[in-house]
Amino acid sequence: MITVRVPASSANLGPGFDCMGLALTIYNYFDVKEYDGLFIEGVDDAYKGEDNLFYKAFQKGIAYRLLKSGKQATAPYGIHIRIRIGVPMSRGLGSSANCIIGGLAAANELYPSIPYHMTEAELFYLGNEMEGHPDNIAPALFGGFTSSMILPNNQPVKMITPVSPKWYFAALVPDVEVPTKEARKALPDTLHRTEAALNVSHALFIQHGIKTADPAILKAAGVDYIHEPYRKKLIPDYETVKELAAKAGCEAFFISGSGSTCLALSLDPQFATRLQSTLVLANLTANWEVYSCEPDISGVTILR
């Protein structure tokens, strides 16, 4: 049995819609072994079938290895999966990209008799193809603060920006699910040119502010015009929690991916603890849990 560890990720970081993402030290663990058939444990029955995303990615990875090896599938390539969930699901912490990268990584490790093994670029390609955008896939695969673009041949490529160790991160997770599909439907299809230009400049300066731990830059660059104005209405308590976070020392506050989680950055190491106490006492609609975390710099990791 091997264990595949995959980090959570927070996509967008405000203006970096569908292209920027940060891997966080919150993990799902998948204990996997070769098996005659499919057996999944550790999740609700609804996730134990062949449409389980980890399993679908696993099968996609095996099919790709067979294709590149010039081999026909002579036997079913089954798997036994024990899932130990640490990443809240459907909350904007990249749980689908997490399962996809986990399944592809497992497909690359099990069944060593298939000669071909996927490269990182191929894992990135297949993951992006399944997810539809690379912003969570890149940090789940590579770790770190990633910016991605898609080449004309559909191959995604990434750039990693170092994160200043002066930043402290907290994922603020309400007990409310916001399905990504719904959160994407809430967005308008067109954007005014002025706002598009602002978003481009803000995304560039987010990278600078994260690298240099400059709160003034991050504050100015944190304004997004593509998704946050439309999505904040889907998150209960958004304005109140943002205000309370600012009072507790938050320097930047983003909707994590498509929500409902919000990502808060501070220069104060006590920030997350203080904010958790504040949120417990506040009169809020949802129950909010604060996950104090750091950037994960490893990405998907095989533990033996």
Considering the complex, state which of residue 96 and residue 276 has its C-beta at the smaller distance from ligand HSE: 96
Question: Do 202 and 226 touch, CB atoms closer than 8 A?
Answer: no
Q: Choose the binding region for ligand HSE from 11-19, 49-57, 153-161, 274-282 (rule: CB under 6 A).
A: 11-19
Would you say the C-alpha torsion 104, 53, 94, 45 has a positive or negative sign?
negative
Structure letter (DSSP) for residue 72: -
Would you say the C-alpha torsion 292, 295, 8, 111 has a positive or negative sign?
negative
Q: How far is the CB of 91 from ligand HSE (least distance, A)?
A: 11
Rule CB under 6 A: choose which of 48, 68, 184, 242 binds ligand HSE: 184
Rule CB under 6 A: choose which of 180, 207, 260, 266 binds ligand HSE: 180
What is the DSSP track for 149-207? EE-TTS-EEEEEEPPPTT-EEEEEEES----HHHHHHTS-S---HHHHHHHHHHHHHHH
List residues bridging with 7 in a β-sheet.
27
228 lines the binding site for ligand HSE (CB under 6 A): no
Considering the complex, state which of residue 183 and residue 250 has its C-beta at the smaller distance from ligand HSE: 183
Alpha-carbon distances of 280 from 144, 197, 265, 284, rounded to whole Å: 31, 39, 19, 9
Q: Choose the binding region for ligand HSE from 10-18, 50-58, 115-123, 157-165 (rule: CB under 6 A).
A: 10-18
Please return the burial class of 205, using the count of CB atoms within 10 Å of its CB with bins 0-12, 13-18 and 19+: middle
Rule CB under 6 A: choose which of 10, 18, 64, 170 binds ligand HSE: 18
Encoded tokens for 216: 């003034």
Considering the complex, state which of residue 11 and residue 275 has its C-beta at the smaller distance from ligand HSE: 11
Question: Do 117 and 64 touch, CB atoms closer than 8 A?
Answer: no
Q: How far is the CB of 17 from ligand HSE (least distance, A)?
A: 6
CA separation for the pair 103, 105 (Å, rounded): 5
CA separation for the pair 297, 289 (Å, rounded): 24
Q: How far is the CB of 121 from ligand HSE (least distance, A)?
A: 21
Considering the complex, state which of residue 215 and residue 259 has its C-beta at the smaller distance from ligand HSE: 259
Rule CB under 6 A: choose which of 128, 147, 207, 258 binds ligand HSE: 258
Please return the burial class of 95, using the count of CB atoms within 10 Å of its CB with bins 0-12, 13-18 and 19+: buried
Rule CB under 6 A: choose which of 133, 158, 202, 274 binds ligand HSE: 133
Rule CB under 6 A: choose which of 10, 12, 28, 95 binds ligand HSE: 12
256 lines the binding site for ligand HSE (CB under 6 A): no
Considering the complex, state which of residue 14 and residue 209 has its C-beta at the smaller distance from ligand HSE: 14
> Among 287, 248, 283, 284, which residue's Cα sits nearest to residue 170?
248
Identify residues 22-41 at the interface with ligand HSE (CB under 6 A).
Answer: none
Considering the complex, state which of residue 258 and residue 266 has its C-beta at the smaller distance from ligand HSE: 258
11 lines the binding site for ligand HSE (CB under 6 A): yes
> Which chain residues interact with ligand HSE by CB under 6 A?
11-12, 17-18, 133, 135-136, 180, 183-184, 227, 257-258
